[in-house]
C-alpha cells in the first residue's frame, strides 16, 4: 500500500521478476522488456521508494524551526553530515534569534568555517536573526514569501523549512532530486525550477514532504552522481534514460 492506494498488480509481478532475475544478470535491462508510460513510471518510483525508505528522518539536526532554518542555510554547498558536526557548537552559543543577534558576525564565522562560504553565511545568520526579532516577533514565519525575504534564504531553503518544520506541502529540489528526476525521464533536467514544476505535477501533493526526502536518501545510497552503474540501480535499471552512464 502507498497511502490508501494498493500497489498495482503489474508492479508486484514485475518487481518479483526483477528481484529473481536481476541479481544474476547485471547486464540485463528490464526497461528493454517492459515499457512503462509516465504514470506507471511515477507509481513505480513511489512504490520502490516507499519499500526502501518507509521512514524518512530529517537529515539536519535541529530542535525547532529556527535551528532548522539556520542548519539549512549552512547546508548550501556543504554536506548535511558536516553541518551536523558544526551546529552543536553554534547552537550552544546561541539557539534562538534573540541570542544569535547578540553574537558578532566574526564569532559566528569562526564556528561555521568548516561549512564553507562562512563570510556570507555568518552575515546572513546574524541579519536574519535580527529581522526575525524586528519583523516577526522572534519567530520563524510560516510563509514562503516571508521566508524568502530573509537574508540568505532562497526558494529551496524556504521550501525545506515549510515542509519539514511546518508540514506545508513543498518539494525542495536539491542536486540529488534534480539528477534523479532527469535520469528517470521525469524531467528534462533543464534547471531546478523546471524539475520542481515537474515533480509537483507528477507526484501527489500529499506525498511531497516525504517523497523529496526518500529521493535524497535514494540518490545518496543507490544513484550517486559519480560511480553509478545504471544496471545495478533499483530504479534506473527499470526506467532509466537511454544511454545514461
Residues designated catalytic: 156, 174
Pairwise CA distance, residues 225 & 36, whole Å: 24
Return the number of other C-beta atoms located less than 10 Å from residue 171's C-beta: 22
Pairwise CA distance, residues 99 & 244, whole Å: 50
Handedness of CA 217, 218, 220, 222 (dihedral sign): positive
Residue given cell 555568518 in the structure block = 122
Which DSSP string do the residues of 195-214 spell out, in sequence order? HHHHHHHHS-GGGHHHHHHH
Q: Which of 195, 178, 221, 186 is nearest to 56 (CA)?
A: 221
Q: Could you give the residue ranges of the DSSP H alpha helices within 101-190?
A: 105-112, 118-136, 144-148, 155-164, 175-183
Amino acid at each position: 500500500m502507498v497511502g490508501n492506494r494498493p500497489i498495482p498488480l503489474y508492479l508486484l509481478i514485475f518487481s518479483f521478476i526483477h528481484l529473481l532475475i536481476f541479481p544474476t544478470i547485471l547486464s540485463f535491462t528490464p526497461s528493454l522488456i517492459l515499457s512503462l508510460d509516465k504514470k506507471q513510471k511515477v507509481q513505480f518510483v513511489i512504490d520502490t521508494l516507499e519499500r526502501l525508505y518507509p521512514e524518512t528522518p530529517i537529515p539536519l539536526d535541529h530542535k525547532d524551526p529556527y535551528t532548522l532554518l539556520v542548519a539549512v542555510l549552512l547546508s548550501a554547498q556543504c554536506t548535511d553530515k558536516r553541518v551536523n558536526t558544526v551546529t552543536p557548537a553554534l547552537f550552544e552559543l546561541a539557539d534562538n534569534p534573540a541570542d544569535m543577534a547578540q553574537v558578532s558576525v566574526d564569532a559566528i564565522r569562526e564556528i561555521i568555517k568548516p561549512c564553507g562560504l562562512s563570510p556570507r553565511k555568518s552575515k546572513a545568520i546574524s541579519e536574519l536573526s535580527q529581522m526575525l526579532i524586528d519583523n516577526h516577533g522572534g519567530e520563524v514565519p510560516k510563509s514562503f514569501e516571508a521566508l524568502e525575504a530573509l537574508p540568505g534564504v532562497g526558494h529551496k531553503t524556504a521550501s525545506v523549512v515549510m515542509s519539514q518544520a511546518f508540514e506545508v506541502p513543498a518539494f525542495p529540489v536539491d542536486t540529488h532530486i534534480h539528477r534523479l528526476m532527469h535520469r528517470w525521464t521525469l524531467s528534462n533536467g533543464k534547471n531546478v525550477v523546471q524539475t520542481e514544476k515537474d515533480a509537483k505535477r507528477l507526484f501527489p501533493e500529499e506525498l511531497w514532504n516525504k517523497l523529496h526526502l526518500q529521493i535524497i536518501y535514494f540518490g545518496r545510497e543507490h544513484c550517486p552522481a559519480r560511480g553509478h552503474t545504471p544496471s545495478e540501480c533499483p530504479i534506473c535499471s527499470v526506467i532509466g534514460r537511454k544511454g545514461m552512464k
